[in-house]
Amino acid sequence: MTTLSVNINKIATLRNARGENTPDVEKVAADCERFGAQGITVHPRPDERHIRRSDVMALRGVIRTEFNIEGNPTPEFMDLVLKAHPEQVTLVPDAADAITSSDGWDVDAHFDFLTGIVDRLRDAGIRSSIFVRPDVAAVKRAAATGADRVELYTKPYADMYHKDRAAAVAPYVEASVAAHKSGIGVNAGHDLNLENLEYFAKELPYLDEVSIGHALICDALYKGLEETIKEYRKCLEK
């Protein structure tokens, strides 16, 4: 079964807009799990415009499923994740001022760096995942770093879905098969939603996990958080 990790960055964005503690990020994380989420994802950025370092540490004591922390593995980020000790760290090549993740790693260009980061995470008992485009060569190189998983960047799929969904998903199927043959797991995320998720999950043969935040929180404004999580979970049933 493909598991659903709910990214709660947007909850923190809403809280920070008022400067108080509503909505309560820790309570929302616990509620997401209670409503069926199988993991919680956060992506702390250097300016703390949504998830703060203090949130990460507080959430570690709340989350009972899987805690996934995404980010660019700067020294500050690595210090944070090694202290928080989540189940998974997803390595994303974001610039400090990035609005959102916009591309995968050039694994060849950063191979030695990524290998060193993966080694540190493994030594700490933390699963590693490298954010890549759906490219077979990139997947194989990510596997060669010793990473446990790749996370496939799915915005290109989402952008093309309504035009030609079979063509849109084809490179992801190839990448998923390549990852499986290389002995690593497959995650996916970015712009997946209730319209395109079911088909994506059905077509990919080795999809372990999806991480969804923006679309899910937007849907929850209309449907409620509990019903929304149930609908996303249903999309992942095979």
Q: Which residues are catalytic?
A: 43, 70, 190
List of E strands, 35-177 = 39-42, 67-71, 88-91, 127-132, 149-153
64: amino acid identity, one letter: R
Residue 103 CB neighbour total at 10 angstroms: 14
**How many angstroms separate the CA atoms of 70 and 143, rounded?**
18
Torsion angle of C-alpha atoms 153, 86, 13, 24, degrees rounded to 10: 140
